[in-house]
Amino acid sequence: MDTITTMMEAIPREPLIVGAIGLALVAALIVASLIRRQRFARRIDRFLTIPGSRKATDYFTDAELLRRSRLLERRLEAGDERLVPALELDRLWTARLQQKERPADFRRVLRYAPATGLFSCFLVALGNRRLAAALRSYLSDHPDFLVLRRLALSGRGEPFDGRRAHAFFSQRIDEIREMTGDPEWPSRYFATKVLLHDTDERSDRALGDAFGDPHPLIRRTVVSEHQGSGREELYGRVLDAFLHDPVHEVRSVARERIRRDFSDLYGLDPGELEPEEALHVVDLLDPNHPDDVNAALELLSGTNRELCLAAARFLTRSATLRRLFRNVTFSDRTELERVRSLLRRAISVHVVDFLRGVTDDPGPATLLLGAELLAEHGPQEYIVEVAERVFRLQTDATENHREIYHATISAIGARGAEDAHRLLAGEISHRRDRPDLLALALQGVSAGHDAIYRDTLIHALHDETFPAREALRAALLKLDTPLVLSTCIDVITAGRERFAHQVRIDALLTLGALKLPYTLQDILEHLHVLPVDEARAFTRTLDEFDSKELERKIRALLQGVDGSIRAAVIAALPATGKKTFLAEIKQAQSDADPDVRIAATWALVDYEETRAVNQAAGMLRDPVERVRRNVARALAVGGGPSALDALRRTLADEHEVESVKEAAVEGLGACVHPDAVDVLVDQLQAEGVLLEAAETALACKTQAASITRLVERFKDADPALRDRISRVFQVMGESGEQVIREVLEEEISGLHAYLAEILEKTGYVESRIRMLSHRDPRVRREAAGFLALVASEAAFRGIVLAARDPDTEVRVQVTKALERLAGEDGKEILRTLENDPDRRIRKYTHWALERLEAKSL
C-alpha cells in the first residue's frame, strides 16, 4: 500500500484532472443522449395518442425521424405497427434509400414498407450485387405471383434497365408475362420493360398488344424500344402510333423512331390524310426538310383552323414565315398577295412571332404587311417601329407610299399605344403640305388620348389655313366632350374679331355634331354664322335638341294637353333627384289620363314618398284595369305595412269585385316582404277564382326570406295545401330551386326535411342524382355534396351509387353522407334501400351497412 501511495503521489495531478473531466464529459454526453432518446420516445407516445387525424410533419421534421431510425426500428420489432403509417416512415426510408442506397434502409423498406418502397429496392438492387442478393432472398420467401405485382405497383413508371431486370427475373418470365394483362398500369409497364429483352414468341405477341395499351407510358416504351420480328410490321405499328395516338409524347417518340430506323419506308402527304392525322403529322414535321415546309404552307392556306394553327407554329419554328415576311416586294404583286394571305391566316390563329421582321430594316412591302397585320394582332410596340419608318419615308420614294401610310395610320388608330399616338400627333402638326395624307393622319386619332392630341387639334382648329377641315372636325369629336364643348362655345361666342369666319363655321358645325340638347341656345343664336346652304343642312339635326330650359319646359308640359307627354315627364322627374314638382305629381294621381295616373303613382314610389303611396289605396277601385294593377303593384313595392293591410282587406272584402282582387294579388306578387307570402297562401286555401293568380304571384317570390316563409307554411299545411305549394315551387323552376338549396345549406332548424321534400317533388334531387354519372369529376363532387346535404331516402338512393366513384372527393362526400345515418332513422333508410329493386343499390347499401357496423365496434 505504501508503494501504491508513493506511485500515485508521483503521477502529475494535471493529466488526472483532464482525464476526469473527459470522463465526466463522456458520461454527460451519454446521459444527455439517453435523455433525448427518452424525450423523443415520449413525444412519439404522445403523438400516437392524439385523437382524430394528425400529420407527423406538424410534430417532427423528416431529418429528426430519419436520425432516430434505429430507435423506431426497435419499436417496430417490438410490435408497434402504428409507427410506419403514423410517422410516414415508408416515405422517409424509401426516399433516403433512393438517394444514398444504404443497406439499413434497404432492409427496413423490405421489412416494413414494401407497398411503398419495394420498387425502389428493386432499382437499387439492379446496380448492387449485395443488395440484389438480399432482394432475391426476399422474393424467394414470397414465391407467389402477387409479390411481383406488389413490386411493380410500388413504382410509378420510373425508368430502369430492362435488360438487367430480365436477367434478374430470368426464372420468372412466365409470371411477368401474365402481368401484361394486369388492370393497373404500373404492373403492365414493369412487365413491358422486362419483356422487351425476351425472345419468346409469346412475349413478342404481348408487346404487340402493348401498342394499344391505355397508358401512354407503355405505348411510348414499346414504340421506342420494341424490335419485333418483322421490320415492316413493326413500322406499321409505329406509323399508326405517329398518326393516331392522342398523346403528343407518344407521337413524338414514334416520329423519332421512324427517322432513326424507318426513314426508307416513310412517305406521307399531309394533304391526303384525314384532318386529325394531318394535325399529328404537322405537329412533328422536320423544319429542315423542304418537303415538310411546303406541306405546311399548303395546310396553312386551307380552311381547317386546327391545321392552320399547327402549320403556322411549325412554319414559325422553321423561320419560314419570317423569311416570307422579310423578302416580300411590290415588284411581284402576285407573290405579295400570296404572302399576305398566308400571314393573315397565321394571324387569325394568333401566331405572330414573324412580325419581329419589322425591326430588321424592313422594305416598303414588309412595312405595308406589318402595318396591316398589326392592326389586328401582335405586339403594340411593333406599331411604333413601323410608324417611325413610314413617317420618315419620302413621299416620292415609292408610288406605294399612300397605301403604306394609310395602313400605318389604321394600325395606330386600332391598336396603337401611347408612343405610337405621340408620333401621329407630331405627324399631324407638320404634314400640312399634303392634305391627302393629312386627312389620313387625322383618321388615326382615337378616343382616350386627349392629353396627346388636345393642343395639336385645337391649334389646328384656330388656324384657318389648316387644310383637311372636315377630317379635323371628325377628329375633334373623338376628344373628351367637355373639352370640345368648351372650345367650340369659346370660338363661336368670341366674335369675328378674334377668330376667322371659317374657324367659327367649323366650331359651330362641331358643336352641332355633339348633339347635346343644352347647347341648342348657343347654336340657334349663332346659326347666322353658317352659309345659307350649310345652315339648311345643319337645321335638319335640330330635331334631336330640346330648346327649353328644364324647369320652364316641365311646368309648361305639365300644364299641357298631351297626356302621354305629361306621363313621360312625370316618369322621368325622379331621375333628377329634385322634388320641385312633387305637389304637381300628387295632383296628377287624379288626372283624367290613365297613363298620367300610373306615372304619378310610380313616381311617388321612386321618390320614396311612402305616405303618399299609401294614400293611393283608394285607386285600387280605379275604373281602368291597368291603373288598378299598377296601383296594386306600387302599393306592394313602395307602400308600408298599412299598404299591405289595405291589400289584405281588399282580398277579404266579400263585396269587392274580382278584377280589383286580381289586381291586389298581382301587386302582392311584386312585394318582397315575407308577410305578403302569408296573404297569398291564404288565397291558395280559399278555393276561389283567385287560386291560379295566387299561385302565379307566389311563383314570383324567389327571395330567400320569401322562400323560407313559404316553406314554413308548407310545414304546417294540410295535404291539399302542400300539393298547391309544391306546384308553386314547380312553377318557380330553376331559380326557385337554387334559392331553396341555399336555404337548405343554412341548415335552419326544423325546415330541413320539408326543404328536401320540396326538392324531391320538383325533381331537383333526381336531376342531381343523374349528375353522379357526369364525366367531369367536379360536377360529380358538387352533386354528391348536395345529396349528402339533403340526406333523404331518395338522395341516398343516389349517394350509395357514388360509393365506388374513382374520384376521392366524391367518395369523401359519400362518407360524410353515410355518417349522417348513424342514428336509427338513418339506418332505417339503409334497410329500406337494402330491398330496393335496383341490384346495384342493394349491393352498395349492404356495403354501407357493413361500414357503419364496423365503425360502431
Alpha helix (H) residue ranges in 515-588: 520-525, 532-539, 550-558, 563-572, 582-587
pLDDT per residue over 485-526, tens digit each? 999 999 988 877 889 989 988 998 899 888 887 776 676 666
Cα atoms in the 13 Å half-sphere on the side-chain side of 668:
34
What is the sign, positive or negative, of the torsion defined by CA atoms of 97, 102, 105, 106?
positive
CB burial of residue 172 (10 Å; 0-12, 13-18, 19+) = middle
**Whats the size of the chain, residue-wise?**
857
CB burial of residue 391 (10 Å; 0-12, 13-18, 19+) = middle
Q: Which of 821, 776, 828 is CA-nearest to residue 799?
A: 821
Cell match 387639334: residue? Answer: 457
pLDDT per residue over 79-102, tens digit each? 887 888 888 888 899 899 888 889
Cell match 321618390: residue? Answer: 607
| 3-state class (DSSP) for residue 249 | helix
Residues 787 and 808: their CA atoms lie apart, in Å, by: 16
Residues 824 and 833: their CA atoms lie apart, in Å, by: 14
Q: Which of 666, 578, 577 is CA-nearest to residue 620?
A: 666
Cβ(411)–Cβ(371) below 8 Å = yes
Cell match 373623338: residue? Answer: 478
Amino acid 710 reads L
Residues 66 and 63: their CA atoms lie apart, in Å, by: 5
Q: How many CB atoms lie within 10 A of CB 61?
A: 10
In angstroms, the Cα distances linking 219 to 123, 194, 211, 237 are 22, 14, 5, 11
CA dihedral 430, 434, 440, 444 (to 10 degrees): 0
Alpha helix (H) residue ranges in 655-776: 658-670, 675-684, 691-699, 704-716, 719-732, 734-745, 752-761, 764-770
Which is more confidently placed, 362 or 770? Answer: 362
Residues 147 and 133: their CA atoms lie apart, in Å, by: 16
Amino acid 812 reads V
CB burial of residue 503 (10 Å; 0-12, 13-18, 19+) = buried
Residues 100 and 214: their CA atoms lie apart, in Å, by: 35
Mean per-residue pLDDT for 742-752? 65
CB burial of residue 462 (10 Å; 0-12, 13-18, 19+) = middle
> Which of the four pLDDT bands, split at 50, 70 and 90, describes residue 806?
confident
> Which of the four pLDDT bands, split at 50, 70 and 90, describes residue 249?
very high
Cell match 426500428: residue? Answer: 73
Alpha carbon 181 to its chain's center = 39
Whether pLDDT at 290 is above 50: yes
Residues 6+ apart with CB under 8 A from 691: 683, 684, 724
| 3-state class (DSSP) for residue 321 | helix
Q: Which of 213, 261, 218, 217 is CA-nearest to residue 239?
A: 261
Residues 358 and 152: their CA atoms lie apart, in Å, by: 56
Cell (9 digits) for 510? 362641331
- Find the radius of gyration of the CA atoms of the chain: 43
Residues 155 and 275: their CA atoms lie apart, in Å, by: 38
Residues 204 and 233: their CA atoms lie apart, in Å, by: 12
- pLDDT attached to residue 705: 74
Alpha helix (H) residue ranges in 560-689: 563-572, 582-587, 594-606, 610-614, 625-638, 641-652, 658-670, 675-684
Taking the alpha carbons at both ends of the chain, their separation in whole angstroms is: 75
Residues 552 and 656: their CA atoms lie apart, in Å, by: 43
Whether pLDDT at 535 is above 50: no
Which is more confidently placed, 236 or 544? Answer: 236
Q: How many CB atoms lie within 10 A of CB 672?
A: 12
Cβ(597)–Cβ(588) below 8 Å = yes
Cell match 322562400: residue? Answer: 707
Mean per-residue pLDDT for 601-607? 73
Residues 739 and 787: their CA atoms lie apart, in Å, by: 16
Which is more confidently placed, 769 or 133? Answer: 133
| Lowest mean per-residue pLDDT among 132-146, 505-519, 527-541, 779-793 | 527-541
Mean per-residue pLDDT for 283-287? 80
> Which of the four pLDDT bands, split at 50, 70 and 90, describes residue 852?
low
Report DSSP state, residue 270.
G
Cβ(568)–Cβ(595) below 8 Å = no
Report DSSP state, residue 515.
-
Cα atoms in the 13 Å half-sphere on the side-chain side of 754:
22
Mean per-residue pLDDT for 340-365? 91
Mean per-residue pLDDT for 728-756? 67
Residues 147 and 172: their CA atoms lie apart, in Å, by: 12
Residues 640 and 604: their CA atoms lie apart, in Å, by: 13
- pLDDT attached to residue 703: 72
- pLDDT attached to residue 565: 57
Q: Which of 536, 457, 449 is CA-nearest to residue 503?
A: 457
Residues 6+ apart with CB under 8 A from 15: none
Cell match 358643336: residue? Answer: 511
Cβ(698)–Cβ(663) below 8 Å = no
Cell (9 digits) for 344? 393573315
> Which of the four pLDDT bands, split at 50, 70 and 90, describes residue 642?
low
- pLDDT attached to residue 538: 57
Residues 168 and 136: their CA atoms lie apart, in Å, by: 8
| Lowest mean per-residue pLDDT among 85-99, 223-237, 463-477, 594-608 | 594-608
Residues 710 and 675: their CA atoms lie apart, in Å, by: 10
- Encode 7-17: b = buried (16+ Cβ within 10 Å), e = exposed: eeeeeeeeeee
pLDDT per residue over 658-698, tens digit each? 767 677 777 777 666 777 777 777 767 666 666 677 677 77
Cβ(665)–Cβ(694) below 8 Å = yes
Rounded to 5 degrees, what are φ and ψ at 435? -55, -30
Cell (9 digits) for 419? 408612343
Cβ(783)–Cβ(772) below 8 Å = yes
| Lowest mean per-residue pLDDT among 143-147, 530-534, 621-625, 751-755 | 530-534
Cβ(744)–Cβ(752) below 8 Å = yes
Whole-structure pTM value: 0.48
CA dihedral 366, 371, 375, 378 (to 10 degrees): 50
